[in-house]
Amino acid sequence: MSDQITITIDGRQINVMPGLKLLWAALDNGIYIPHLCAIREEIRPNASCRLCFVEIEGSKHPVTSCTKTVEENMVVKTRSPRIDRLVKTAFELIISDHNLKCNECPANKNCVLQTIAKERGLRLKQKRFKSIVREFELDDSPEVFAFDRSRCVLCGQCIWADRVEAKVGAIGFTNRGIKRMVTTFKDLPLADSICTQCTLCVDACPVGALYYKKDRKEAGS
């Protein structure tokens, strides 16, 4: 299309629609940038996972590609020693707060964290940081799915699904800082909340925090 603009990512020239955020421009063109919290439809991106850093020529500091709108002739690098260092630390910090028993996890082999590790050559079993995974009671109250908060990476995808797609409003973020979590009103089990168990949130979860119980999975596949 004529109104497209041209940008360069990692030496590759690509044509994209103006107004698009850089992250989606890259992903749409098969260039991988790690990300967890980004939602294409969101007007003001969360920018909370801090994994999608890139370097843009002319910018002093690394920028998050989910918040950066593409500009004509923008020259972008998705890898550099600085970017790699930031992404590695962000990733390892997330891992330090994530229940790493992958072989017990229904999302094993289908987990965004594993994808990021593979794409960027990072180790899931990081050694720099102490594990600070919190203990939560498993919420398996819904009929077909369950919620294991020890695997939650606080990306907010489930809340978006609940609010914007399902229009229910059963779950949200609560607390502050290290205690931040996704939960229902009064921390009720999902089945006791206003949750309709539509499972859109389960489909949105990039890791194995919200997952289908076994029987359903088998029935589905």
Partner 1 sequence: MQLVEGEKEVIIACVNEVLKEKEKTTENLIPILQNVQARLGYLPSLAMEMIAADLAVPAADVFGLATFYNQFRLSPPGKHQVKVCLGTACYMVGGKIALESFERRMEIREGETSVDRLYSLERVACVGCCTMAPVVVVDEVVEGKVTPTRVDGIMLALQENGDTKKSEMKTDLPDEGEGKNK
Partner 2 sequence: MSNLTPLVSYEKLRSEAVLATNADAEKTRVLVGTATCGVAAGALQVKEDFIREIGAKGLDAEVIEVGCMGHCYAEPLAVIAKPGFPPICYGHLDNGLVHRLVEDFLAGDDPCYEYAMAALEPNDVFPTFAEFPRGVYEQKLILEQCGFIDARNIDSYLARDGYSALAQALEGEPQQVLAEIKQANLRGRGGAGFPAGLKWEACIKSGGEQIYVICNADEGDPGAFMDRSILESDPHLVLEGMILCAYAVGSGKGFLYIRAEYPRAVTHVQEAIDQARAKGLLGTKILGSDFSFDLEIFQGSGAFVCGEATALVNSMEGKMGMPESRPPRLAQKGYRGRPTVLNNVKTFAYVPLIIKNGADWFKAIGTPDSPGTAVFSLVGKVVNTGLVEVPMGTTLRQLIFDVGDGLPNGREFKAVQIGGPSGGCLPETALDVPIDFDSLQEAGAIMGSGGLVVMAQDDCMVAVARYFLEFTQHESCGKCTFCRLGTKQMLDILTDITQGKGDDQTLALLEELSEDVRDGSLCNLGRTAPNPVLTTLKYFRDEYEAHIKEGRCPALVCHDLILYYILPRKCSKLCNVCVGSCPTEAIFTREDGLKEINQEKCVKCDNCLKACPPEYTAVVKLSPPILPPEKERKN
Q: Where does this chain bind partner 1 (CB under 8 A)? A: 163, 169-176, 183-186, 193-194
Q: Does the footprint of partner 2 cover residue 4 (CB under 8 A)?
A: no
Residues in a beta bridge with 173: 182
Alpha-helical regions (H) of 46-143 = 81-96, 112-120
DSSP-H helix ranges across 99-207: 112-120, 157-160, 200-204
162-191 residues in contact with partner 2 (CB under 8 A) are 173, 175-180
Among 40, 129, 167, 191, binds partner 2 (CB under 8 A): 129
Residue with smaller CB distance to partner 1, 155 or 171: 171
Judged by beta carbon, residue 5 or residue 188, the one nearer partner 1 is 188
For 215, list phi and psi in degrees, rounded to 5: -55, -40
Tokens 């260092």 -> residue: 85
Of 103 and 175, CB closest to partner 1: 175
The torsion region of residue 30 among left (phi > 0), alpha (psi -120 to 50) and beta comes to: left
Please report where in the chains the tokens 């290290």 appear, as a residue: 178
Residue 79 binds which one of partner 2, partner 1, none, with CB within 5 to 8 A depending on kind? Answer: none
Q: Which is nearer to partner 1, 163 or 216 (CB)?
A: 163
Residue 67 interacting with partner 2 (CB under 8 A): yes
Rounded CA Rg of the chain: 19
- Judged by DSSP in three states, 85 sits in helix
* For partner 1, the closer CB: 113 or 201: 201
What would the x/- binding string for partner 2 be over residues 78 to 117, using CB under 8 A? ----x--xx--xx--xx-xx--------------------
The amino acid sitting at 53 is: F
Segments in 64-161 forming alpha helices (H):
81-96, 112-120, 157-160
Residue 42 binds partner 2 (CB under 8 A): no
**Binding-site residue total for partner 2 (CB under 8 A)?**
34
Residue closest to 29 by CA, chosen among 82, 59, 70, 83: 70
CB of 142 to partner 2, least distance (A): 26
What is the C-alpha to C-alpha distance for residues 121 and 179, in angstroms, rounded to an integer?
Answer: 30
Q: Which of 16, 55, 64, 70 binds partner 2 (CB under 8 A)?
A: 64
Q: Which residues contact partner 2 by CB under 8 A? A: 44-51, 53, 61-62, 64, 67, 82, 85-86, 89-90, 93-94, 96-97, 128-130, 132, 154, 173, 175-180
